[in-house]
Amino acid sequence: MAEELEFLMSDGLLIRGTIEGNRTSNHLVVMLHSGGYDRHERGVKEVSKDEISGMKKIEYYNAYGNYDYLSNLLKQDACILRIDQRNHGQSGKNIDVSKMKIALEKLKTEDQVSNQIIRNLMHNNKNKLRELEQNFQNEKVSDLIHHPILKDMSFQKMKEDLEEVIEQFTKANPSFSSIDFVGTCMGTVVASLYLFDHPTMANSLTLFSPLYTFDYSILNSPENAGLMRTKWEAVKKGNQFRLGNAIEGPNTHREVASFAATFFDHLKELNIPIFCIQGTDDALVPVSIQREIFRNLKEYREKHHLKPVNYAEIPAVHCLYDSIFPALLETSEFIYSQQETLEKKK
Protein backbone atom coordinates (compact mmCIF):
# COMPACT_ATOMS: atom_id res chain seq x y z
CA MET A 1 0.00 0.00 0.00
CA ALA A 2 1.17 3.50 -0.86
CA GLU A 3 1.52 5.97 1.99
CA GLU A 4 1.15 9.75 1.65
CA LEU A 5 4.05 11.79 3.04
CA GLU A 6 4.62 15.47 3.81
CA PHE A 7 7.93 17.32 4.01
CA LEU A 8 8.15 20.86 5.36
CA MET A 9 10.77 22.93 3.55
CA SER A 10 12.93 25.55 5.28
CA ASP A 11 11.01 28.38 3.56
CA GLY A 12 7.67 27.05 4.88
CA LEU A 13 6.49 25.35 1.69
CA LEU A 14 5.06 21.83 2.00
CA ILE A 15 6.21 19.08 -0.37
CA ARG A 16 3.88 16.10 -0.65
CA GLY A 17 4.79 12.67 -1.91
CA THR A 18 4.20 8.93 -1.86
CA ILE A 19 6.22 6.07 -0.45
CA GLU A 20 5.45 2.57 -1.71
CA GLY A 21 6.95 -0.77 -2.59
CA ASN A 22 9.09 -2.98 -0.39
CA ARG A 23 9.54 -1.11 2.91
CA THR A 24 12.11 -3.67 4.12
CA SER A 25 14.38 -3.18 1.11
CA ASN A 26 17.67 -1.32 1.53
CA HIS A 27 17.31 0.03 -2.05
CA LEU A 28 15.50 3.34 -2.57
CA VAL A 29 14.28 4.68 -5.93
CA VAL A 30 13.52 8.42 -6.13
CA MET A 31 11.38 9.70 -9.04
CA LEU A 32 11.17 13.34 -10.18
CA HIS A 33 8.46 14.34 -12.66
CA SER A 34 8.52 16.74 -15.61
CA GLY A 35 7.40 20.36 -15.62
CA GLY A 36 3.64 20.90 -15.42
CA TYR A 37 2.83 17.35 -14.27
CA ASP A 38 2.97 15.45 -10.97
CA ARG A 39 4.38 12.39 -9.22
CA HIS A 40 2.35 10.06 -11.48
CA GLU A 41 3.94 11.37 -14.72
CA ARG A 42 0.83 10.64 -16.76
CA GLY A 43 0.71 13.74 -18.97
CA VAL A 44 -2.14 16.23 -19.16
CA LYS A 45 -3.88 16.07 -22.54
CA GLU A 46 -6.63 18.66 -21.99
CA VAL A 47 -7.88 20.94 -19.21
CA SER A 48 -11.51 22.13 -19.24
CA LYS A 49 -14.30 23.12 -16.85
CA ASP A 50 -17.17 20.89 -15.84
CA GLU A 51 -20.34 22.57 -17.11
CA ILE A 52 -22.36 21.70 -14.00
CA SER A 53 -19.91 22.18 -11.11
CA GLY A 54 -17.59 24.67 -12.78
CA MET A 55 -14.64 22.66 -11.39
CA LYS A 56 -11.46 22.10 -13.39
CA LYS A 57 -11.63 18.88 -15.38
CA ILE A 58 -8.38 17.21 -16.47
CA GLU A 59 -8.04 14.61 -19.21
CA TYR A 60 -4.79 12.66 -19.12
CA TYR A 61 -2.97 10.82 -21.89
CA ASN A 62 -2.84 7.85 -19.52
CA ALA A 63 -5.12 7.40 -16.51
CA TYR A 64 -2.26 5.45 -15.02
CA GLY A 65 1.05 7.33 -15.18
CA ASN A 66 4.48 6.20 -16.28
CA TYR A 67 5.82 6.46 -12.74
CA ASP A 68 2.88 4.37 -11.52
CA TYR A 69 3.82 1.67 -14.02
CA LEU A 70 7.51 1.87 -13.16
CA SER A 71 6.75 1.72 -9.42
CA ASN A 72 4.74 -1.46 -10.00
CA LEU A 73 7.67 -3.02 -11.84
CA LEU A 74 10.09 -2.18 -9.01
CA LYS A 75 7.97 -2.47 -5.90
CA GLN A 76 8.77 -6.11 -5.04
CA ASP A 77 12.44 -5.36 -4.43
CA ALA A 78 12.73 -1.60 -3.91
CA CYS A 79 11.19 1.17 -1.86
CA ILE A 80 9.95 4.00 -4.11
CA LEU A 81 9.71 7.67 -3.18
CA ARG A 82 7.81 9.98 -5.54
CA ILE A 83 7.21 13.66 -4.82
CA ASP A 84 5.28 16.52 -6.37
CA GLN A 85 7.83 19.26 -6.86
CA ARG A 86 6.99 22.76 -5.63
CA ASN A 87 4.03 24.39 -7.37
CA HIS A 88 3.04 21.01 -8.84
CA GLY A 89 0.44 18.42 -7.90
CA GLN A 90 -0.47 18.40 -4.22
CA SER A 91 2.64 20.31 -3.09
CA GLY A 92 2.59 23.92 -2.01
CA LYS A 93 2.42 26.96 -4.27
CA ASN A 94 5.70 28.74 -5.00
CA ILE A 95 4.46 32.04 -3.56
CA ASP A 96 6.29 35.34 -3.90
CA VAL A 97 5.65 36.16 -0.25
CA SER A 98 6.72 39.82 -0.30
CA LYS A 99 4.62 40.66 -3.38
CA MET A 100 1.63 38.76 -2.01
CA LYS A 101 1.82 40.66 1.28
CA ILE A 102 1.93 44.00 -0.55
CA ALA A 103 -1.03 43.00 -2.77
CA LEU A 104 -3.11 41.86 0.23
CA GLU A 105 -2.18 44.97 2.21
CA LYS A 106 -3.50 47.14 -0.61
CA LEU A 107 -6.79 45.28 -0.28
CA LYS A 108 -6.96 46.23 3.44
CA THR A 109 -6.39 42.63 4.54
CA GLU A 110 -5.36 42.23 8.15
CA ASP A 111 -1.85 40.85 8.73
CA GLN A 112 -3.20 37.77 10.50
CA VAL A 113 -5.49 36.92 7.55
CA SER A 114 -2.73 37.65 5.01
CA ASN A 115 -0.38 35.30 6.83
CA GLN A 116 -3.03 32.59 6.90
CA ILE A 117 -3.66 32.94 3.16
CA ILE A 118 0.05 32.79 2.34
CA ARG A 119 0.75 29.86 4.68
CA ASN A 120 -2.16 27.83 3.34
CA LEU A 121 -1.16 28.53 -0.26
CA MET A 122 2.36 27.31 0.57
CA HIS A 123 0.78 24.20 2.07
CA ASN A 124 -1.78 23.92 -0.75
CA ASN A 125 -4.49 23.53 1.90
CA LYS A 126 -7.55 23.81 -0.33
CA ASN A 127 -10.13 23.35 2.42
CA LYS A 128 -8.68 26.11 4.58
CA LEU A 129 -8.30 28.42 1.60
CA ARG A 130 -11.93 27.83 0.68
CA GLU A 131 -12.94 28.66 4.25
CA LEU A 132 -10.88 31.86 4.26
CA GLU A 133 -12.35 32.87 0.92
CA GLN A 134 -15.91 32.36 2.15
CA ASN A 135 -15.28 34.24 5.39
CA PHE A 136 -13.66 37.19 3.69
CA GLN A 137 -16.04 37.50 0.72
CA ASN A 138 -13.89 39.90 -1.29
CA GLU A 139 -13.62 39.23 -5.04
CA LYS A 140 -10.12 40.66 -5.33
CA VAL A 141 -8.85 38.65 -2.38
CA SER A 142 -10.52 35.55 -3.86
CA ASP A 143 -8.73 36.24 -7.13
CA LEU A 144 -5.39 36.37 -5.29
CA ILE A 145 -6.20 33.05 -3.61
CA HIS A 146 -7.01 31.41 -6.95
CA HIS A 147 -4.26 33.22 -8.89
CA PRO A 148 -1.50 33.98 -6.39
CA ILE A 149 1.66 35.88 -7.28
CA LEU A 150 4.27 33.19 -7.90
CA LYS A 151 8.03 33.22 -8.14
CA ASP A 152 9.81 32.25 -11.33
CA MET A 153 10.61 28.54 -11.45
CA SER A 154 14.04 27.78 -9.95
CA PHE A 155 15.89 24.53 -10.65
CA GLN A 156 18.25 25.37 -7.80
CA LYS A 157 15.36 25.78 -5.37
CA MET A 158 13.86 22.46 -6.45
CA LYS A 159 17.30 20.92 -5.97
CA GLU A 160 17.35 22.33 -2.42
CA ASP A 161 13.87 20.85 -1.89
CA LEU A 162 15.20 17.45 -2.97
CA GLU A 163 18.10 17.81 -0.51
CA GLU A 164 15.70 18.53 2.33
CA VAL A 165 13.30 15.73 1.32
CA ILE A 166 16.05 13.11 1.11
CA GLU A 167 17.63 14.30 4.36
CA GLN A 168 14.29 14.12 6.19
CA PHE A 169 13.30 10.81 4.63
CA THR A 170 16.60 8.98 5.14
CA LYS A 171 16.87 10.28 8.70
CA ALA A 172 13.52 8.64 9.43
CA ASN A 173 14.46 5.57 7.36
CA PRO A 174 18.23 5.04 7.83
CA SER A 175 18.51 1.53 6.37
CA PHE A 176 19.02 2.41 2.68
CA SER A 177 22.36 1.45 1.15
CA SER A 178 21.65 2.87 -2.31
CA ILE A 179 19.47 5.37 -4.14
CA ASP A 180 18.57 5.10 -7.82
CA PHE A 181 17.31 8.35 -9.33
CA VAL A 182 14.74 8.65 -12.13
CA GLY A 183 13.85 11.98 -13.77
CA THR A 184 11.75 13.21 -16.66
CA CYS A 185 12.45 16.50 -18.50
CA MET A 186 12.51 19.17 -15.73
CA GLY A 187 13.12 16.46 -13.14
CA THR A 188 16.33 15.38 -14.90
CA VAL A 189 17.89 18.80 -14.30
CA VAL A 190 16.85 18.83 -10.64
CA ALA A 191 18.24 15.31 -10.09
CA SER A 192 21.51 16.15 -11.86
CA LEU A 193 22.09 19.37 -9.90
CA TYR A 194 21.49 17.39 -6.71
CA LEU A 195 23.96 14.67 -7.73
CA PHE A 196 26.65 17.18 -8.72
CA ASP A 197 26.65 18.24 -5.06
CA HIS A 198 26.07 14.73 -3.66
CA PRO A 199 27.81 12.36 -6.11
CA THR A 200 28.11 9.50 -3.64
CA MET A 201 24.36 9.41 -2.94
CA ALA A 202 23.40 7.66 -6.19
CA ASN A 203 23.63 4.14 -7.50
CA SER A 204 22.29 5.06 -10.98
CA LEU A 205 20.49 7.79 -12.91
CA THR A 206 17.66 7.19 -15.41
CA LEU A 207 16.71 10.07 -17.73
CA PHE A 208 13.52 10.39 -19.78
CA SER A 209 13.82 13.21 -22.36
CA PRO A 210 16.34 15.14 -20.25
CA LEU A 211 16.01 18.90 -20.47
CA TYR A 212 19.71 19.25 -21.23
CA THR A 213 19.10 21.20 -24.45
CA PHE A 214 19.42 24.47 -22.51
CA ASP A 215 20.27 26.72 -25.44
CA TYR A 216 17.36 25.50 -27.55
CA SER A 217 14.80 25.01 -24.80
CA ILE A 218 15.52 28.00 -22.58
CA LEU A 219 18.37 30.39 -23.37
CA ASN A 220 18.28 31.07 -27.11
CA SER A 221 15.39 29.28 -28.83
CA PRO A 222 15.62 29.60 -32.64
CA GLU A 223 12.89 31.10 -34.83
CA ASN A 224 11.54 27.68 -35.81
CA ALA A 225 11.31 26.36 -32.22
CA GLY A 226 7.52 26.80 -31.99
CA LEU A 227 6.32 26.92 -28.38
CA MET A 228 9.92 27.24 -27.14
CA ARG A 229 10.35 30.42 -29.19
CA THR A 230 7.03 31.84 -27.94
CA LYS A 231 8.16 31.18 -24.37
CA TRP A 232 11.62 32.66 -25.00
CA GLU A 233 10.16 35.85 -26.46
CA ALA A 234 7.77 36.28 -23.52
CA VAL A 235 10.51 35.82 -20.94
CA LYS A 236 12.90 38.14 -22.81
CA LYS A 237 10.26 40.86 -22.41
CA GLY A 238 10.33 40.31 -18.65
CA ASN A 239 7.13 38.25 -18.45
CA GLN A 240 6.42 34.88 -16.90
CA PHE A 241 5.45 32.04 -19.23
CA ARG A 242 3.19 29.35 -17.78
CA LEU A 243 3.12 25.84 -19.15
CA GLY A 244 0.83 24.08 -16.71
CA ASN A 245 2.39 24.61 -13.30
CA ALA A 246 5.88 25.18 -14.71
CA ILE A 247 6.34 28.96 -14.63
CA GLU A 248 9.46 30.26 -16.32
CA GLY A 249 10.50 33.88 -15.98
CA PRO A 250 13.58 36.08 -16.34
CA ASN A 251 15.06 34.71 -13.10
CA THR A 252 14.72 31.15 -14.44
CA HIS A 253 16.70 32.05 -17.54
CA ARG A 254 19.39 33.91 -15.59
CA GLU A 255 19.74 30.91 -13.30
CA VAL A 256 20.04 28.42 -16.18
CA ALA A 257 22.64 30.67 -17.85
CA SER A 258 24.64 30.60 -14.60
CA PHE A 259 24.93 26.80 -14.47
CA ALA A 260 24.66 25.79 -18.16
CA ALA A 261 28.33 26.55 -18.89
CA THR A 262 29.60 23.99 -16.37
CA PHE A 263 26.67 21.55 -16.38
CA PHE A 264 28.10 19.05 -18.87
CA ASP A 265 31.54 19.08 -17.28
CA HIS A 266 29.90 17.96 -14.03
CA LEU A 267 27.73 15.42 -15.86
CA LYS A 268 30.76 13.89 -17.59
CA GLU A 269 32.47 13.33 -14.24
CA LEU A 270 29.37 11.96 -12.49
CA ASN A 271 30.70 8.44 -12.13
CA ILE A 272 27.47 6.45 -11.93
CA PRO A 273 25.69 4.40 -14.65
CA ILE A 274 23.29 6.54 -16.71
CA PHE A 275 20.41 5.38 -18.90
CA CYS A 276 18.70 7.92 -21.18
CA ILE A 277 15.55 7.38 -23.25
CA GLN A 278 14.50 9.96 -25.86
CA GLY A 279 11.52 10.19 -28.24
CA THR A 280 12.63 10.89 -31.82
CA ASP A 281 9.72 13.29 -32.50
CA ASP A 282 10.02 15.25 -29.25
CA ALA A 283 9.25 18.89 -30.12
CA LEU A 284 10.44 20.30 -26.80
CA VAL A 285 13.70 18.36 -26.54
CA PRO A 286 14.98 17.78 -30.12
CA VAL A 287 16.52 14.38 -30.70
CA SER A 288 19.26 15.78 -32.98
CA ILE A 289 20.68 17.89 -30.13
CA GLN A 290 20.23 15.10 -27.58
CA ARG A 291 22.09 12.61 -29.75
CA GLU A 292 25.11 14.90 -29.92
CA ILE A 293 25.06 15.53 -26.17
CA PHE A 294 25.02 11.82 -25.35
CA ARG A 295 27.52 10.89 -28.08
CA ASN A 296 30.05 13.29 -26.53
CA LEU A 297 29.17 12.14 -23.03
CA LYS A 298 29.57 8.49 -23.95
CA GLU A 299 32.91 9.03 -25.73
CA TYR A 300 34.35 10.99 -22.82
CA ARG A 301 33.36 8.42 -20.22
CA GLU A 302 34.66 5.51 -22.28
CA LYS A 303 37.97 7.33 -22.78
CA HIS A 304 38.33 8.04 -19.06
CA HIS A 305 37.08 4.61 -17.93
CA LEU A 306 34.07 5.99 -16.07
CA LYS A 307 30.73 4.24 -15.53
CA PRO A 308 28.79 3.64 -18.77
CA VAL A 309 26.17 5.82 -20.44
CA ASN A 310 23.38 4.02 -22.27
CA TYR A 311 21.29 6.01 -24.76
CA ALA A 312 18.11 4.72 -26.43
CA GLU A 313 15.39 6.22 -28.63
CA ILE A 314 11.70 5.49 -29.13
CA PRO A 315 10.86 6.11 -32.81
CA ALA A 316 8.03 8.47 -33.82
CA VAL A 317 7.17 9.50 -30.26
CA HIS A 318 6.75 13.13 -29.19
CA CYS A 319 6.26 13.04 -25.41
CA LEU A 320 7.29 9.86 -23.68
CA TYR A 321 3.98 9.52 -21.88
CA ASP A 322 2.43 8.94 -25.33
CA SER A 323 4.07 5.55 -25.72
CA ILE A 324 6.68 4.46 -23.20
CA PHE A 325 5.64 1.19 -21.57
CA PRO A 326 8.18 -1.10 -23.33
CA ALA A 327 10.93 1.34 -22.30
CA LEU A 328 9.83 1.09 -18.68
CA LEU A 329 10.66 -2.62 -18.77
CA GLU A 330 14.18 -1.72 -19.92
CA THR A 331 14.36 0.92 -17.19
CA SER A 332 13.38 -1.53 -14.45
CA GLU A 333 15.96 -4.02 -15.73
CA PHE A 334 18.61 -1.28 -15.75
CA ILE A 335 17.84 -0.27 -12.15
CA TYR A 336 17.73 -3.89 -10.98
CA SER A 337 21.08 -4.61 -12.64
CA GLN A 338 22.70 -1.69 -10.79
CA GLN A 339 21.24 -2.88 -7.49
CA GLU A 340 22.49 -6.40 -8.14
CA THR A 341 25.97 -5.08 -8.96
CA LEU A 342 25.99 -3.19 -5.68
CA GLU A 343 24.91 -6.30 -3.73
CA LYS A 344 27.71 -8.38 -5.28
CA LYS A 345 30.30 -5.84 -4.12
CA LYS A 346 29.29 -6.27 -0.48
**The pLDDT of residue 341:** 82
Give the whole-angstrom CA distance, residue 218 versus residue 197: 23
Same domain, 209 and 271: yes
Q: Is the pLDDT of residue 67 over 60?
A: yes
Same domain, 64 and 171: yes
Host domain of residue 108: 97-146
Give the whole-angstrom CA distance, residue 204 versus residue 199: 10
Same domain, 142 and 159: no
In a domain, 239, yes or no: no
Average pLDDT over residues 94-117: 95
Same domain, 125 and 265: no
Total domains in the chain come to 2
pLDDT tens, residue by residue, 201-253 = 899 999 999 999 999 999 999 999 999 999 999 999 999 999 889 999 999 99
Using an 8 Å Cβ cutoff, are 31 and 206 in contact? no
In a domain, 242, yes or no: no
Instruction: Kindly state the percentage of the chain with pLDDT values over 90.
Output: 75
Same domain, 175 and 131: no
In a domain, 228, yes or no: no
Instruction: Kindly state the percentage of the chain with pLDDT values over 70.
Output: 94
CA 319 to chain CA centroid, Å, is 15
Q: Is the pLDDT of residue 134 over 90?
A: no
**The pLDDT of residue 175:** 86
pLDDT tens, residue by residue, 42-58 = 866 677 776 666 666 77
Q: Is the pLDDT of residue 101 over 90?
A: yes
Same domain, 168 and 297: yes
Same domain, 266 and 171: yes
pLDDT tens, residue by residue, 154-187 = 999 999 999 999 999 999 988 898 899 999 999 9
Planar angle of CA 61, 63, 65, nearest 5 degrees = 80
Same domain, 83 and 182: yes
**The pLDDT of residue 339:** 84
Same domain, 122 and 15: no
CATH number of domain containing 197? 3.40.50.1820
Q: Is the pLDDT of residue 1 over 90?
A: no
Same domain, 184 and 142: no
**The pLDDT of residue 103:** 96
Q: How far is CA 288 from CA 181, 237, 282, 283, 315, in A?
A: 25, 29, 10, 11, 13
Same domain, 268 and 330: yes
Using an 8 Å Cβ cutoff, are 275 and 334 in contact? yes
**The pLDDT of residue 45:** 66
The Cβ of residue 45 has, within 10 Å, a number of other Cβ atoms equal to: 13
Same domain, 64 and 169: yes
In a domain, 313, yes or no: yes
Average pLDDT over residues 121-139: 91
Using an 8 Å Cβ cutoff, are 196 and 270 in contact? yes
Averaged pLDDT of the chain: 91
Query: Based on C-alpha coordinates, what's the Rg of the chain?
Result: 21
Q: Is the pLDDT of residue 323 over 60?
A: no
**The pLDDT of residue 344:** 76
In a domain, 169, yes or no: yes
Using an 8 Å Cβ cutoff, are 82 and 18 in contact? yes
